[in-house]
Every structure is written in structure tokens, then in C-alpha cells.
Chain A
Amino acid sequence: MGLVCRYDPGARLEGEVPALARTVESTIRFPYKRSLGPVLGAFMTALTEKRIIGIRSGPRVIVPPLEWDPDTAAELAHDFVDVGPAGTVTSWSWVESPTSQHPLDRPFAFALVKLDGADTALVHVVDAGSIDAMATGMRVAPRWKAQRKGHITDIDAFVPGEQPTVAGGEAAVADDAAGEPVTMMEYDAAITYNTPVTPNVMRAEQATDEGRFLGLRCPVCARTYTGGKGYCPVDAVELRPEHEVDLPQVGTVTNYTIITPVQYPGQTETEPFARVHVWLDGTDVVLGYQPLLDTPNADVRIGMRVAAMWASEAEKGDIDPRGEGNLVGWMPTGEPDVTDPELVNRIC
């Protein structure tokens, strides 16, 4: 077949992808609570009663109901009408491998279901067991969840046939909440990202492991950046290993804050503590929000001279890997304070 496929087009859902040097995995959740308003709220409320409603828009019945006429944008009167419960599949797609966000965990169909009495189609899922059981024009009816809360997935799925059913059978129905006005809905999705770690960041991390601060000095403007930044944002030039410089480990506190901890996952502090900004000697580099060691909060002040303290080999495992590697914090040097009223403005 003369295949010269450089990368696998099917890798979007399966298969291998080229390996990167190192990636950081992070999962972001989207736990939204949404208010529904009078139209979507009425639809969701009806679902708790095992009813599906549409809204009249001129001669048409729109399902699921919208607040506005899709053609004229005029607000629609709240003239609701029961539709279905059975309907006709007008299009469908078969999902062989469901995702974690899909409502069913076995192969199913997404379908456009034109419910009896409706002029538009509802996007939902059909639990038909097999792709061979699916066809455009087939008749389907809802299988309701036994426990309904006013959510589009109160319809567990549509199934072939004319008669609505209830998952687990009618006996399983707990109708306590049925008909209670539904005003809010919850939506909770999660996406896991794998973001590559750039070579510059890896080299900066390696340096802190070795007790060094690595800077990258822009070849155009000579500004110095930390943390493995890959470019100078002022001159828009790439920063490479040849632009690396070792930075001094002594500096001056330019600003600080005393943080009163509130408890959240990962917070280990229980008493108010200081975070200071440190301007490294002879550079334009200010390191923000650094821990200050062996200093009562009342003694923290602008102009203090401080030096970096690194974890010993034995202590390394105990350091929180926040990107500062093995930096424990900053220790006052005992030198006289720097007195400069402009220091307070150097926070970056």
C-alpha cells in the first residue's frame, strides 16, 4: 500500500505516540454547579417525573426546550408540551470504546431521537447491545433511572421499542424527589493532561538538586530569568544552554508577607509564617515567596541580608518538591540591613 504514514492517525483514541523526554501529569476537574432557569428547570423537573417536555415555538415543538426562538431570537412563552415517550432515531453513531465521560460503560450509540410530537431531535444515547441492532428509523423509548435528580442522564438510555422502562424495574423506583422543582444541576468532568517538561526546566531543576541557582541571560537585553524559562519575553528570543549563568546565593529581602494558614490539602503549616522576596546580589533576579529561616515573624523586615540554605544529602528526601529542588530557605547573614526606600518595589 506504499504507506508513508509518519504518525498514526488513529492514535487519537488508541495506539502509541512518540515518547517525550519527561512529562508532568495533571488532572483538572470541572465541578460546575449551574442554575437552570424557568425553561431548562422545567425540563429537568419533568425528567424526575419520567416525563419529557418540549416548548412551543410557533407551529414547532422544540425538544429539549430552549428559552429563545432559534430563528428570531424572540423569548419563547413557557408553553410546554409533553412529547414521546417513544421516538424515532433519525441518525446514530456507534461508540465501540466509551470514554470515562460517556453515560454507559459498554458499547452504545449516540443518536438523534425525534420524540413523538417533537419537531427537533434530542441528542442522547441508545443502549442496543450491538451495532447490528441499530438502524435509522428504528423506534426507541426511554429507560429511566430508578433514582432521578433532574439531569439529562435521568434518562439512563433509550432502548429499542415503544414502552418506557425503569432501570431495575418499577419496584426499584424511589419517587421521593419526583416533581420537586429542580433549579440547579451539577456537572463534573475531569481531563488528564500530560505536559512535557522542557530541557531548560530540567536543567534548572538539576542545578537546584546540586545546590545552585541557574539563570538564563538574554543575549539581547541581558535580563536574567530563572526556573528554566525558554525565552526572553521582552526580546522574544530563545534561551539556550549557552545563555546559562550561575547566580549568587546571597541577597536582600525586598518585600515580605506573613501568611496565616488555612487548612487545605497539602498545607502542612499551622502557625503564621513569613514569605520573602529575595533580590540576588549583582543581578536583576528577584525570587518570590521564599521561606525565611530562624526568624520570628516580628523580626522580618525589608533590607535584611539573607543566604540560601540547601538540604544536606540526608535531608533531601524530606524537601517538598515545589520546583525549588533542595532549597530549604533563606538564613539571615547577620550583615547590616540595606537601607533603600525603593527596595520595597522590587518584587519581580
Chain B
Amino acid sequence: MGKRPESGHDDDIAIVGWSISPMVRNTDKTEVQMLLEVITGAVTDAGITRREVDFTCAGSCDYVAGQAFSFVQNIDALGAWPPKRDSHVEMDGAWALYEAWIRLQLGDIDVALAMGSGRSSTADPALIYPMEMDPYYLAPLGADATSLAALQARALIDAGKVTEIQMAEIAARCRRDAKTNANAQVVGDFDPAALLAESYVRAPLRRHDLPPITDGACAVVIARAARARELCEHPVWITGFAHASEMHNPGMRDLTSSRSTVLAAKAAGVDERPVEVAEIQSAYTHEEPVLVEALGLARDVAVNPSGGPLAANPIMATGLVRVAEAARQIRDLGRRRTLAHSTSGPCLQQNLVCVLEGDIR
């Protein structure tokens, strides 16, 4: 499963609505309240009500929420009475969308909603994220995601694949591009040379190489072909969708490339036609060149025009926001073919690629 064998099929599935919350450092809303707003926003955008959603899938994380089974409470945002078919992944909402996309292919229901949500502000990420690591060899060292990302950055620098000034330029470009994104959190004009004068957080990563701590949520509505055409004039078709994973332990794989991204991109058919925009989950600056290479993006592809995760990083929704932003490029800005990427695990362990196309048939 990865891409549709042909176009114009009844089993085609399209994005028909979405909503992205404001991205903030520290919200006073509960996760349920954040979801309530983006779900209302997404179904309104799709021109439907909650009752017309046949299946829901959420991406969230108990360690981020600080509460066991927090996703059960999040169902309150769905209006799940009468009861709904519902599922949950302890992953980014992009994987929730993947499950919803698979579910619609069964053909018995027409509309699904995927969501992602996280309040990262409630605790120190450096203490939360070791919990996602191997519990025998990595977590007992307090191996936090940023320290491990810095190992990858150093490997890339040593291999000549990126320099610290290029990393600073990526940070500056993303936060400059984010000035047009009303939802973004960290925006502005930064001088890369001045950024390099800042001290390291986890050498060779400086503050600008890290994503901000962000509270936020996102919801996306998808529908099967016939229903999608009823609901909107310009459905955004999902023409390829795949993910792949590799070894967890960063000491056991080549950190200077991303094999799983290459596999997912191939399975999703990225290389079949040109891509105009790529919204990728490069939460650390040095991840961008790795992903651009692995996705096989041409030089003229616009990467993260929304500002990407360096401008707002709502953990557990960051990837789904990429999908919504890539869809926006087609529906609202007239692009023909875009892609979204999401990642999970330390040092780009698992990678997801979603290819979107406008209605050109």
C-alpha cells in the first residue's frame, strides 16, 4: 500500500477540510479545548457537522500530557454520542491520518477525521523525551532527543553534508518565511552570522537549530471520491501515502542519510512527477538537508514555506500540520503537486510521506 494505481478511481481519497490552532509557547487551554476548536474548524471548513464524520483517529502522547490514557478524555472533543468509530495512535497526527486513509479504503464509510494535539509546555522536553527511547540502553542515560539530534548534526558536519552556517541560514529562512503564517510562533528576520555567535545548547546545536516548545493542535477531514466531490470544488487528492522505519538506536545506523525516508518516498511515488512544495518535519535545522536528499527534491522545490517546525513545533501535531500546509498550497495557492513529511523517534528513525495533488482530471 502506498499509492493509487490509477487516477479517477472511486477509491480515491481527498482532503476536504482542515484547521490549525494558533501555535503558542504556553496555552491556558486544556488539550480537549484545543481539539474542540480545531475539530469544529475542520468540519466547518469541510462544510459538514461532527455527525457526518464516520471515523476518527487521534495522535497524542500520554508522556506529553502527563496523564495516563489522556486520549480517552480527548474523545470529549469529538461529540462522540451516539458512539463513533474511533481509534488512537501514540504518534503524530500524521499517522492518525494514515490510519484514517487506510480505513476509508475499506469502502463502507465516506468521511474520516484525523487529529493531532500536544501541550509540550507542561514539562521540560529534555525530561519527557528520554521516555521514548530504548528503556535498557538509552533511557537510563537520560538520552534526550536534542542530545541525540546533535550526534546526527555532528555526523553530518563531519561528513561534509552541512555546515553550521548553513544550519543558521536554514533557521533564518524558516523564521523569515513564517512571517506570512499567522499561526506561527517564532518568526522574524535573523542574521545567520549573528546566530552563530550564540552559545551552544547541545553542541553543535545552538538555540536557533532547535524547534520552539509549542502548544497546538490540528485536524484534517478526508473523504472518499464521490463524497469529496460533493463537499468541495477542489478536493486535494492523496495520491501517495507511505511510511517506513529503521533501527531505533542511533549508534546502529548511518546518521548521514535516511533510508526509511527514501523507502517511504519511493512507495508514495514522489519521483513520478515534479513536486512544487515540500512541508517537512525537520524540527532541527540539520535534518532539512538529510530529508531533501532522501526525498529526492529538486533545487526549485519550496521547502517549508510555512516556516515549518522551526517556527512552530506542536509535538504530536507537527506532522499533521505539514499535511494541512501542503494541502493549503494546492487548494488555496493553486499548486498542483505537493508533499508532506512527518517523522517519529530519535534522529529521524521513522518517516512518513504523503503526496497531494490538485484536481486536474
Give the complex CA separation of A303 and B143 in angstroms: 57
Min distance, Cβ B107 to any Cβ of chain A, angstroms:
27
Are B66 and A120 interface neighbours, CB within 8 A? no
**Are the CB atoms of A93 and B155 closer together than 8 Å?**
no
In the bound complex, how far is the Cα of B39 from the Cα of A6, in angstroms? 26
Residues 194-208 (chain B) with a chain A CB within 8 angstroms:
194, 199-205, 207-208
Cβ of A110 under 8 Å from chain B: yes
A151 within 8 A of B: yes
Residue of A nearest to B32 (CB): A231
- Is A233 a contact of B199 with CB atoms below 8 Å? no
A152–B140 Cα gap in the complex (Å)? 7
Do residues B125 and A12 form an inter-chain contact, with CB atoms below 8 A?
yes
Is B163 at the interface (CB under 8 A from chain A)? Answer: no
Mark A152-196 against chain B: 1 for CB-CB distance below 8 A, else 0: 110000000000000000000000000000000101011111111
CB atoms of B252 and A70 under 8 A apart: yes
The verdict on A4 contacting chain B, using a C-beta distance below 8 Å, is yes
Check B205–A93 contact: CB distance below 8 A: yes
In the complex, what's the smallest C-beta–C-beta distance from A5 to chain B, in angstroms?
Answer: 5
Inter-chain contact A62/B26, CB cutoff 8 Å: no
Answer whether A103 and B137 are a contact pair too, CB < 8 Å, given A12-B125, A13-B126: no
Contact code string A264-281 (vs B, CB < 8 Å = 1, else 0) = 000000000000000000
Q: Is the CB of A231 within 8 A of B255?
A: no
B32: chain A residues within 8 A (beta carbon): 230-231
The answer to whether residues A99 and B127 also contact, given A11-B213, A123-B138, A152-B136 and a CB cut-off of 8 A, is yes
Cβ-neighbour of A233 out of B81, B142, B153, B186 (below 8 A):
B81
Whether, in the assembled complex, B167 has its beta carbon less than 8 Å from a beta carbon of chain A, the answer is: no
Q: How large is the interface on A (under 10, 10 to 19, 20 to 34, 35 or more residues)?
A: 35 or more
Stretch from B11-19, B71-79, B323-331 forming part of the interface with A: B71-79
B151 within 8 Å of A (CB atoms) = yes
Asked if B52 is at the interface (CB within 8 A of a chain A CB), the reply is no
**Contact partners of A17 in chain B: CB under 8 A:** 25-26, 121, 213
A185 touches B251 (CB 8 A): no
* B231 at interface, CB cutoff 8 A: no
Given A90-B155, A123-B141, check contact A4 B126 (CB 8 Å): no
| Partner-contacting stretch, out of A20-28, A254-262, A285-293, A324-332 | A20-28
A337 contacts the other chain (Cβ, under 8 Å)? no
> Which A residues touch B204, using CB under 8 A?
93
Cβ proximity bits A120-162 to B, threshold 8 Å, 1 near / 0 not: 1111110000010000100000000000000111000000000
Nearest to A155 among chain B residues (CB) is B141
Contact A2 B188 (CB under 8 A): yes
For chain A, residues 70 to 95, give those with C-beta under 8 angstroms from any C-beta of chain B.
70, 90-95
A235 at the A/B interface (Cβ < 8 Å)?
Answer: yes
- Please name all residues of chain A whose beta carbon is closer than 8 Å to the beta carbon of B29 when the two chains form the complex: 196, 198
**A4 contacts B187, CB within 8 Å?**
yes
Is A314 among interface residues, defined by CB-CB distance under 8 A?
Answer: no
Are A9 and B130 interface neighbours, CB within 8 A? Answer: no
In the complex, are the beta carbons of A123 and B255 less than 8 A apart?
no
Residues of B within 8 Å of A233, CB to CB, are 75-77, 79-81
Contact A9-B210, Cβ < 8 Å, known A93-B147, A93-B154, A112-B250: yes
Known A-B contacts A20-B26, A193-B123; A101 and B150 likewise in contact (beta carbons under 8 Å): no
Contacts of B78 in A (CB 8 A): 236
Taken together as a complex, chains A and B put the C-alpha atoms of A66 and B78 apart, in Å, by 42
- What does the 1/0 interface line of B38-57 toward A look like (CB < 8 Å)? 01100000000010000000
* A101-B142, A152-B141, A231-B33 known; A121+B252 contact, CB < 8 A: yes
Provide the bound-state CA to CA distance between A147 and B125, in Å: 31
B158 within 8 A of A: yes
**A-B CB contact pairs (8 Å), 18 listed:** A4-B188, A7-B25, A7-B212, A9-B207, A9-B211, A62-B252, A91-B158, A93-B204, A95-B147, A103-B141, A123-B148, A152-B137, A187-B135, A195-B66, A198-B33, A235-B79, A236-B79, A238-B36
A100-B142, A185-B136, A199-B28 known, 14 other contacts, Cβ within 8 Å: A9-B210, A9-B211, A10-B207, A12-B146, A20-B28, A36-B136, A91-B151, A91-B155, A91-B255, A93-B147, A101-B130, A123-B249, A136-B154, A153-B141
What 4 A-B pairs come out closest when comparing CB atoms?
A: A101-B142, A93-B150, A236-B79, A193-B66
